[in-house]
Chain A
Amino acid sequence: MSTPDDVDLDRVWANVAAEVWRRQPGRVERTAARLLKSPGLARALLTTPSLLLPWLIATVVVLGAGALAQVAAGQPLVWLIAPSLAAVGIAYAYGPGIDPAWELSCSMAVSDRMVLLTRAVVVFAANALLGLVASAATIGTAASAGTVTLTFAWLLPMTAICALALAVAVAARSASAGAGAGVAAWIILVLARGLASAPSGAPGSAPGVQLTAAITDANLYLPYLAVAVCCAAAVIYATRPQRGPQ
């Protein structure tokens, strides 16, 4: 069978292949592309390691187990787990060693700073949402002491811990360093405030109440806010576009 001389078979095949191989973006990707006004940024968001389904399932399982333990045993696990889970997720959102094609991504028109900040915001929002659902499920248990305020109070320390994890991850160019810093800071803070607020002469007599001191102590709210703002400023500064020779 012959073809007319003016038919470019390569071009015809490219059109056919484009139709056959065309990938239809899912609803989430289409919505993200509309909101972010960038299909590239939307696609980059959906490849975030800490937003992939296995990671989200693991987060749900951990928070679910924490909520069950809180309901059954009265231990304030959701409040203690949620900030460190979010910090690890934020640290593992973007960076060398985490994103396989990180160097290539740095040469793209969609700026890596926008990718980092977008991913960080969405990971934070996802973790806050999951934490709130788990926390809301425990309202009325002994550990929540029946107060709705306590149920939401961990959001502020979570913000500070996440900002710290992101700042360390960006500065050290290491997700593990960021995650380690966030988790370590949270553990130290919880233990330090728990020990400081423990009733004298009865160490460990009411561990639930003491362990929540890092969340319930109103004197800490301003320092949390200050840490969050400072760390966010550090991230924005460290990822600023280079304007000239270094």
Chain B
Amino acid sequence: MNIELSDLTRKFGRTIAVDGVTLDAGPGVLGLLGPNGAGKTSLLRMLATILPPSSGDLRLLERDPARPAQRREIRRRLGYLPQNLGYYPSFTVVEFVEYFALLKEMPPHIVPKAVATAIERVELGAKAKAKLRTLSGGMLRRVGIAQAIVNEPQLLLFDEPTAGLDPEQRVAFRALMRYFGQTATVIVSTHLVEDVGAACTEVALMSEGKIAFRGTPEELTARGVDHGVGDAPLERGYSAVLAAARSAS
């Protein structure tokens, strides 16, 4: 298993952002759904080794991120796209992706080819030498995706990756997720239920810091058969599970 969480909790003062989450995941694409404030980003930041848990056990890529040496090994094999990707306006696309390839401690001699491959995968070859300040929001998002995949990660974490992408780019991005999901664990936090239906092999639905549902997109769809809220079958499943979780709490 690439991800093993046991009773993982994260508190901010009195607020419990992630409340006793137990989860494991191997290769594949896991969609993380949930309303705003459900704890998706906090969970993703713990998986990205940025945020230490308040309690519980966390193992990533069969290593303990609480130990600095093992955390470093995890980070070499990690790809992360934060919700708010900051960028250096004066950097070109190549410089930005290369910068993070070097910070991931990739061997310098393989960096140029890895950077070129990542940029081509997000279809930004024509803008490779363009300054980031000249790019649109959707292009910047793709630059962020390129830096996340540049090291061929074993654990790939995307927080709202399709925000700002047009429909054609979203289709291409889903194909990219499926490609990496063949060998790596890809976790994608999103509000867009259609992204989950199209690309994810599994879904976890978070509500109030807890995992309210874990299963395949088809299983989530089945939960919404008799539920009236939502336009698409998957949305009805999402609404049904969320309503059940709220009434139970």
**A→B interface (CB under 8 Å):** 10, 13-15, 17-19, 21-23, 38-40, 43-44, 47, 99-111, 241-246
Total A-B residue pairs with C-beta atoms closer than 8 Å? 106
- A15, B113: Cβ atoms under 8 Å? yes
The A-contacting residues of B in range 35-85, CB under 8 angstroms, are: 48-50, 52-56, 66-68, 71-72, 75-76, 78, 80, 82, 84-85
A104 to B53, CA, bound (A): 18
Most buried by A among B87, B103, B115: B103
Per a CB cutoff under 8 Å, which of A44, A101, A244 touches B86? A101
Most buried by B among A13, A104, A108, A244: A104
28 inter-chain pairs at a CB distance below 8 angstroms, sorted by A residue, are: A14-B113, A14-B116, A18-B112, A18-B113, A19-B112, A21-B112, A21-B119, A22-B112, A23-B94, A38-B105, A40-B102, A43-B98, A43-B102, A43-B103, A47-B88, A99-B86, A102-B86, A104-B100, A106-B50, A108-B104, A109-B104, A110-B103, A110-B105, A242-B66, A243-B66, A243-B67, A244-B52, A245-B56
- A103, B50: Cβ atoms under 8 Å? yes
- B86, A100: Cβ atoms under 8 Å? yes
B4–chain A nearest beta-carbon distance, Å: 15
**B147 lies within 8 A of chain A by Cβ:** yes
- Report how many residues on chain B are interfacial, defined by Cβ distance under 8 Å: 45
**B→A interface (CB under 8 Å):** 48-50, 52-56, 66-68, 71-72, 75-76, 78, 80, 82, 84-89, 94-95, 98-100, 102-105, 108, 112-113, 115-117, 119-120, 125, 128-129, 147
Given the known A-B contacts A103-B50, A104-B147, are A44 and B103 also in contact in the complex, defined by CB atoms under 8 Å? Answer: yes
- B129, A21: Cβ atoms under 8 Å? yes
Closest to A46 in B: B99
Contacts of A105 in B (CB 8 A): 103
A88–chain B nearest beta-carbon distance, Å: 21
A177 to B76, CA, bound (A): 33
Per a CB cutoff under 8 Å, which of A99, A102, A109 touches B75? A109
Per a CB cutoff under 8 Å, which of A17, A47, A104, A110 touches B85? A104
Contacts of A40 in B (CB 8 A): 102-105
B153–chain A nearest beta-carbon distance, Å: 11
- A245, B53: Cβ atoms under 8 Å? yes
Contacts of A18 in B (CB 8 A): 112-113, 115-116
A10 to B129, CA, bound (A): 19
Contacts of A104 in B (CB 8 A): 80, 82, 85-86, 100, 147
Contacts of B104 in A (CB 8 A): 40, 108-109
- B100, A108: Cβ atoms under 8 Å? yes
B77–chain A nearest beta-carbon distance, Å: 9
- A101, B85: Cβ atoms under 8 Å? yes
Contacts of B71 in A (CB 8 A): 241
- A245, B105: Cβ atoms under 8 Å? no
- B85, A107: Cβ atoms under 8 Å? no
- B49, A107: Cβ atoms under 8 Å? yes
A244 to B71, CA, bound (A): 11
**Apart from A108-B104, A109-B75, A243-B67, 17 more pairs, CB < 8 Å:** A14-B120, A17-B120, A19-B112, A21-B115, A40-B105, A43-B98, A44-B103, A47-B99, A100-B86, A100-B89, A103-B50, A103-B82, A106-B50, A110-B103, A242-B66, A245-B52, A245-B66
Closest to B50 in A: A106
Contacts of B95 in A (CB 8 A): 23
Contacts of A244 in B (CB 8 A): 52, 66
A245 to B6, CA, bound (A): 13
Contacts of B48 in A (CB 8 A): 107
A186 to B209, CA, bound (A): 46
- B103, A109: Cβ atoms under 8 Å? yes
Closest to B125 in A: A17
A109 to B107, CA, bound (A): 12
Closest to A13 in B: B120
- A103, B86: Cβ atoms under 8 Å? yes
A101 to B104, CA, bound (A): 14
B3–chain A nearest beta-carbon distance, Å: 15
- A111, B86: Cβ atoms under 8 Å? no
A107 to B115, CA, bound (A): 18
A106 to B82, CA, bound (A): 11
Closest to B68 in A: A241
- A245, B55: Cβ atoms under 8 Å? yes
Contacts of A19 in B (CB 8 A): 112
- A21, B128: Cβ atoms under 8 Å? yes
Contacts of B85 in A (CB 8 A): 101, 104
